[in-house]
């Protein structure tokens, strides 16, 4: 039987990878070995996380975290290489743009193992983002590039990938499959709406965690000023990332909004289903908002998911207080039709078939 090793480093990657794992298990033609680098230490990723989310437990836990980018990536390459020497897979699968992603790609490629990059071709065109460097380098050495959108394909073509010995395929966004699958269980699994005494379509869901915002006092202050103004009109609920919490404390900023502890995936789905709109600097949440028929106000200066902006489902506002409030006012009474198909369907199955063809 052919074998793949899947390298994962963050909770969202596990959620996406679970889609493909279920399909691999159904077909029983490929063996999958999961490696958790430990990159994002996450208290929510306990035994219960894997059981509740119906995600296969990793065979290897490398426990590599809390290091500089260079030290972390180097250590990951070293440890992933050891796993690949033991497992001898036909291909390695990686997701997105974390240090785990590039480390897996480098370790495998140097051992002449085929590399499959899921979520390939995404670009923010902001080289100050570590994620941008990771995704560009990973794409360049991969053998199969699974692209979520036409924009991603165009990005690769513009970089000359048509001239490289690589398979480029538009499969769609695997996160869509995850949202559709887990939404069936979220209401039964999470009581967050009741616990926080929230009313459907009567609150705004916000998340702020990206370093470009949290590490810039002016930007952070400006964003929270806007959230406080919006909160006077409609409740703003913000699951507070530990790093953001520490910085707010350090700067003595006490936002007058509804701050709650970080939430698990099912609770986040329930918040998305029931909110009126989303304000976020997260990449994934922009799409999850769309999958739940909600507008997203993007508190960044760019997005990898530009089709959301082009079709009017999201708006880029940076950290500008006035622009954030104006976007909220514009979306507050919106009746926009979200039925357009931007990210495909049955994406996991399409990716599986391409992997099967590549290694057989």
Cβ of 275: how many Cβ atoms within 10 Å?
A: 25
Instruction: Please name the residues in contact with 211: beta carbons below 8 A apart, sequence gap of 6 or more.
Output: none
> Residue 217 carries which DSSP code?
H
Is 200 within 8 Å of 63 (Cβ atoms)? no
Q: Where are the alpha helices (DSSP H) in 210-300?
A: 211-214, 217-231, 242-250, 265-274, 283-291
Does residue 27 have an active-site annotation?
A: no
Angle at 108 between CA 103 and CA 146, to 5 degrees: 80
d(CA 337, CA 155): 28
Q: Where are the alpha helices (DSSP H) in the chain?
A: 11-27, 47-52, 69-87, 99-110, 130-141, 150-158, 174-189, 192-195, 211-214, 217-231, 242-250, 265-274, 283-291, 306-310, 321-332, 347-359
Of the listed 112, 209, 241, 360, which one is catalytic?
Answer: 209
CA distances from 280 to 159, 164, 234, 303 (A): 29, 36, 16, 11
Six-digit token string for 340: 């357009």
CA neighbor of 278 nearest in space, from 311, 315, 224: 315
Place of tokens 């954030």: 324
Active site residues: 209
């Amino acid at each position: 039987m052919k074998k793949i090793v899947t390298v994962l480093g963050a909770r969202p990657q596990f959620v996406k990878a679970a889609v493909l794992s279920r399909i691999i298990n159904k077909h029983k033609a490929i063996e999958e070995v999961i490696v958790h680098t430990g990159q994002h230490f996450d208290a929510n990723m306990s035994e219960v996380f894997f059981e509740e989310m119906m995600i296969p437990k990793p065979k290897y836990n490398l426990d590599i975290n809390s290091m500089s980018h260079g030290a972390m990536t180097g250590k990951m390459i070293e440890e992933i290489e050891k796993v690949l020497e033991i497992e001898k897979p036909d291909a390695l699968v990686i997701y997105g743009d974390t240090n785990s992603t590039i480390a897996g790609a480098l370790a495998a490629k140097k051992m002449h193992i085929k590399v499959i990059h899921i979520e390939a071709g995404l670009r923010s065109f902001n080289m100050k983002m570590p994620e941008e460097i990771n995704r560009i380098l990973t794409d360049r050495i991969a053998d199969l590039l699974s692209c979520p959108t036409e924009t991603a394909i165009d990005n690769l073509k513009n970089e000359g990938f048509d001239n490289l010995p690589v398979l480029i395929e538009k499969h769609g966004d695997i996160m869509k499959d995850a949202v559709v699958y887990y939404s069936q269980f979220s209401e039964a699994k999470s009581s967050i709406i009741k616990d926080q005494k929230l009313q459907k379509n009567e609150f705004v869901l916000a998340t702020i965690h990206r370093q470009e915002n949290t590490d810039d006092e002016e930007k952070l202050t400006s964003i929270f000023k806007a959230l406080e103004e919006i909160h006077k009109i409609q409740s703003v609920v913000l699951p507070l990332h530990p790093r953001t919490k520490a910085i707010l404390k350090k700067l003595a900023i006490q936002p007058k909004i509804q701050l709650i502890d970080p939430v698990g995936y099912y609770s986040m789905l329930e918040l998305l289903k029931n909110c009126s709109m989303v304000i976020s600097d997260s990449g994934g949440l922009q799409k999850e908002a769309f999958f739940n028929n909600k507008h997203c106000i993007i508190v960044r200066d760019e997005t990898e998911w530009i089709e959301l902006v082009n079709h009017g489902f999201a708006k880029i506002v940076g950290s500008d207080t006035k622009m954030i409030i104006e976007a909220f006012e514009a979306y507050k009474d919106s009746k926009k039709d979200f039925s357009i198909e931007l990210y495909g369907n049955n994406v996991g199955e399409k990716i599986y078939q391409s992997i099967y063809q590549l290694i057989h």
